[in-house]
Amino acid sequence: MSDAVMSAEDGLARCPWGAAPEIYRDYHDGEWGRPVRGDDELFERVSLEAFQSGLSWLVILRKREAFRKAFDGFSIAKVAAYTDDDAERLLADAGIVRNRLKIAATIANAKAAAELAGTAVGGLSELVWSYAPDRRERPKRLADVPAVTPESTALSKALKKHGFRFVGPTTAYAMMQAVGMVDDHLADCHVPELP
């Protein structure tokens, strides 16, 4: 038994959360669960997952382009150089989620990510992907999808050790799903499995 639903528009089986609205379908079909590498690219995902905490992912998806513009394309080097004036500018930007703690965390996380490049870790991408679990079969039902795993707990601890904020185990696991470290598309979802 699966929780996948069929889309009325195209007849394709999707994970239930990815069936509607269209912005979810596009994200589900083309991006979620696909490998993302690169320090700036992963910094964007860490940042967006932190902003999503306590909110619907739909809110973040709808504001994603505004976030990219407000945070200089999530360039670690640029965001790490932000000042108090930049934080105030962000707090006044109605296009993004205006949460003082999350904005401060994003700037602090950029500084932490910038410092990683000069360490034995090698960078944010290397650190994050070093916690990728072994591949497993896709879950059959939504109830089979965990919210936290030993790997997400370990990743959360490692990120916090390096100065990151708003990166608890649940947030870390959501990011692991989003960037393709785990494949939590349901077994009968139409999105092809990675080779």
Please tell me which residue in 17, 27, 115, 126 is annotated as part of the active site: 27
User: Per the residue annotation, which of 24, 32, 49, 173 is the catalytic one?
Assistant: 49
Is residue 15 annotated as involved in ligand binding? yes
Whether residue 28 is annotated as binding a ligand: the answer is yes
Q: Answer yes or no: 49 catalytic.
A: yes
133 among the known binding-site residues?
Answer: no
Q: Is the C-alpha dihedral spanning 195, 23, 142, 35 positive or negative?
A: positive
- Tell me whether residue 162 is annotated as binding: no
Instruction: Show Cβ contacts of residue 129 under 8 Å, excluding neighbours closer than 6 positions.
Output: 37, 181
Around Cβ 41, how many Cβ atoms within 10 Å?
13
Identify whether 57 is a catalytic site residue: yes
Residue tagged 């077994």 (tokens): 187
Q: Helix, strand, coil shares of the chain as percentages rounded to 5? A: 55, 0, 45
CB proximity list for 113: less than 8 A, separation 6 or greater: 39, 43, 46, 76, 80, 123, 124, 164
Number of H helices, E strands in the chain: 9, 2
Contact yes or no for 153/24 (Cβ under 8 A) = no
Task: Please state the residue numbers annotated as binding site.
Answer: 15, 28, 185, 189
Task: Please state the residue numbers annotated as binding site for Zn(2+).
Answer: 15, 28, 185, 189
Catalytic residues: 27, 49, 57
